[in-house]
């Protein structure tokens, strides 16, 4: 007998205060919808062990019309058939900005096996705004920089209908060692001076 889909509620006064705790508790199963309730959420979240299937996607989204703002990095390490939609990733966390460390708002970073740990990922109708270089900016000889969405070792992904705005000196989207990706119907703000691409400009 299969399990029915469930609603996992995250946020102030909900079952789980943040999505990291829901993952740690293994509360998210195939076909579940994870609802983030109204609020501003801290970063530093590790999201893993999300095993959806082609018929039972896992969805992470805002609850109804709630405004959700994530201030800090989400790192997704093991996830299959995952959809993230309706969320706003706003700015850097203060520590990464101050020390100039590399920082990504939404980071898909495989844990064990490239092109296996992360498969069938969709990011849709999300906002990525105000990602800035910190005081210790990167140089032309060290062009690693902040990225709004970074994929590494991901097989089959889509980024669609997203807004990348006010990310001065940072990249909107970066892909390393991935395959079968589609990027469509997104809006990227104007490039930083000296950049050749509206969606890709390293710190300088």
pLDDT for the residue 128: 93
79 occurs within a structural domain: yes
129 occurs within a structural domain: yes
Sole residue written with tokens 């990733």 = 89
35 occurs within a structural domain: no
202 occurs within a structural domain: no
Task: Give the domain extent around 125.
Answer: 42-56+69-188
Q: Which DSSP string corresponds to the chain?
A: -PPPP-EEEESTTSSBSSHHHHHHTT---TT-EEEEPSEEEES-EEE--EE-BTTB-EEEEESTT--EEEES-EEE-SEEEEEEES-EEES--HHHHHHT---EEEEEE-SSSTTTSEEEEEEES-EEE-----SS---TT-----EEEEEESEEEEEEES-EEES-TTSEEEEEES-EEEEEES-EE-PPPTT-SBTTB----
pLDDT for the residue 201: 34
pLDDT for the residue 87: 97
10 occurs within a structural domain: no
182 occurs within a structural domain: yes
**Total tally of structural domains belonging to the chain:** 1
Contacts of 169 (CB under 8 A, 6+ apart): 132, 133, 137, 145, 146, 192, 201, 202, 203, 204
pLDDT for the residue 132: 74
4 occurs within a structural domain: no
The residues of the chain scoring below 70 in pLDDT are 1-4, 93-101, 133-144, 169, 190-204
16 occurs within a structural domain: no
């Amino acid at each position: 007998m299969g399990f029915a889909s469930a609603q996992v509620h995250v946020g102030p006064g909900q079952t789980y205060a943040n999505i990291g705790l829901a993952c740690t508790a293994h509360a998210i199963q195939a076909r579940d919808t994870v609802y983030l309730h109204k609020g501003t959420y801290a970063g530093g979240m590790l999201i893993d062990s999300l095993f959806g299937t082609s018929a039972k996607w896992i969805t992470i989204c805002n609850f109804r019309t709630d405004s959700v703002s994530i201030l800090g990095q989400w790192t997704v390490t093991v996830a299959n058939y995952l959809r993230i939609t309706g969320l706003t990733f706003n700015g850097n966390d203060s520590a990464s900005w101050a020390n100039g460390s590399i920082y990504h708002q939404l980071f898909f970073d495989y844990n064990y096996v490239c092109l296996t740990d992360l498969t069938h990922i969709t990011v849709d109708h999300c906002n990525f705004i105000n990602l800035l270089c910190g005081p210790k900016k990167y140089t032309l000889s060290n062009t690693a920089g902040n990225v709004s969405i970074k994929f590494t070792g991901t097989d089959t992904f889509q980024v669609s209908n997203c807004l990348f705005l006010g990310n001065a000196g940072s990249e909107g989207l970066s892909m390393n060692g991935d395959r079968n990706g589609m990027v469509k119907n997104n809006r990227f703000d104007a490039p930083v001076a000296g950049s050749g691409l509206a969606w890709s400009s390293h710190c300088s």
